[in-house]
């Protein structure tokens, strides 16, 4: 569903990602861990076609991202939760969902998709007519996730979606992500919270200074010295 092969990028003269390779097979929940500034969001931008590559290749849903152009990414059946959520604050929840639905390739009607969304996010349902800017951080996090799912994507890619939530809400958030995975979605979860991410992931990668430093199954990541030293 996703494959990065030896991806390198830079910001101006400064090299950022160096030979990053990672992949995601159908049905997996994989996490990409790494400290601040490691290059996680840069990886998100590279795999979603927002950043030119110096080298390597990104395949998303079997297509080479560099060839299809950013404007066609929405039609690939991939839901994105970007860093900072990037909702439209002055629009209502419904309007935010509708814009994402219109950009997707969903065959189901918008109303049907909303019904599915309500079952996952009952609190979003109560607030469909509310302007996003007036919602709490936890509610906005759920709206961002609902928006990524509204087009019924096969693959969900999230960049630190639980950032800023209280510990209790983080638990709820991760339970929701685990449920979405159990219902069949393939997920790439970019996270700083290694303990939480590894509690629901099948396997993971650790990015350090623009390179993959560790990769492996949940169990091997949890017992890895570098990861234990960094996080656990
Ligand atoms: N547009 C840019 N121009 C120059 N440098 C940038 C740009 N965007 C990011 N960087 C730098 O690249 C490095 C990696 O940034 P990135 O946002 O990928 O980190 P991250 O792993 O997502 O960190 P965080 O956990 O804090 O979100 C940082 O040192 C950052 O300052
Ligand atoms: Mg980031």
How high is the mean pLDDT in each 10-residue block of the chain (232 residues)?
Answer: 97 95 97 95 94 95 87 85 93 95 89 90 88 92 93 94 88 93 96 93 96 96 90 70
Contact 132, 143 (CB under 8 A): yes
Q: Name every residue whose Cβ is closer than 8 Å to that of residue 223 and which is 6 or more positions away in sequence.
A: none
The pocket around ligand 1, CB under 6 angstroms, is made up of 11, 16, 34, 36-42, 83, 192
Return the best residue to mutate from 4, 10, 11, 193 for the ligand 1 pocket (most ligand atoms within 8 A of CB). Answer: 11
Three-state SS string over 121-154 comes to CHHHHCCCCCEHHHCCHHHHHHHHHHHHHCCCCC
Contact 156, 180 (CB under 8 A): yes
The span from the CA of 30 to the CA of 148, in Å, is 17
Q: Atom 24 (ligand 1): residue with closest C-alpha? A: 36
Question: Which helix H or strand E contains 5, and what residues bound it?
Answer: strand 2-11
The span from the CA of 13 to the CA of 67, in Å, is 24
Q: How far is the CA of 224 from the centre of ligand 2 (A)?
A: 23
Would you call 97 exposed, middle or buried from its count of C-beta atoms within 10 A (0-12, 13-18, 19+)?
A: buried
Quick one: pLDDT at residue 232?
A: 64
Q: How far is the CA of 41 from the centre of ligand 1 (A)?
A: 7
Quick one: pLDDT at residue 107?
A: 86
Q: Atom 10 (ligand 1): residue with closest C-alpha? A: 11
Contact 206, 33 (CB under 8 A): yes
Nearest to 147 by CA among 92, 101, 105, 110: 101
Q: In terms of DSSP H, where are the helices of the chain?
A: 40-47, 65-68, 93-103, 110-120, 122-125, 137-149, 167-182, 194-200, 218-222, 225-230
Any bridge partners for residue 57, and if so which?
5
The span from the CA of 87 to the CA of 141, in Å, is 10
């Amino acid at each position: 569903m996703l494959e990065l092969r030896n991806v390198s990028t830079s910001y101006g003269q400064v090299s950022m990602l160096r030979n990053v390779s990672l992949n995601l097979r159908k049905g997996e929940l994989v996490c990409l861990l790494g400290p601040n500034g490691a290059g996680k969001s840069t990886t998100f931008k590279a795999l979603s076609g927002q950043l030119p590559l110096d080298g390597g290749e990104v395949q998303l849903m079997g297509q080479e991202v560099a060839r299809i152009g950013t404007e066609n990414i929405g039609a690939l059946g991939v839901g994105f939760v970007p860093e900072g959520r990037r909702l439209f604050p002055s629009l209502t929840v419904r309007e935010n969902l509708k814009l994402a639905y219109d950009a997707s390739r969903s065959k189901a009607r918008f109303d049907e998709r909303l019904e599915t969304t309500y079952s996952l996010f009952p609190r979003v349902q109560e607030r469909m007519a509310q302007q996003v800017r007036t919602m709490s951080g936890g509610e906005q996090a759920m709206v961002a996730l609902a928006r990524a799912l509204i087009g019924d994507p096969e693959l969900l890619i999230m960049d630190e979606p639980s950032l800023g939530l209280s510990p209790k809400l983080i638990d709820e958030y991760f339970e929701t992500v685990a449920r979405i995975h159990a219902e069949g979605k393939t997920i790439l979860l970019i996270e700083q919270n290694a303990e939480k991410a590894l509690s629901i992931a099948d396997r993971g990668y650790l990015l350090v200074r623009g390179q993959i430093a560790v990769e492996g199954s949940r169990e091997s990541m949890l017992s890895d010295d570098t990861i234990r030293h960094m996080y656990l």
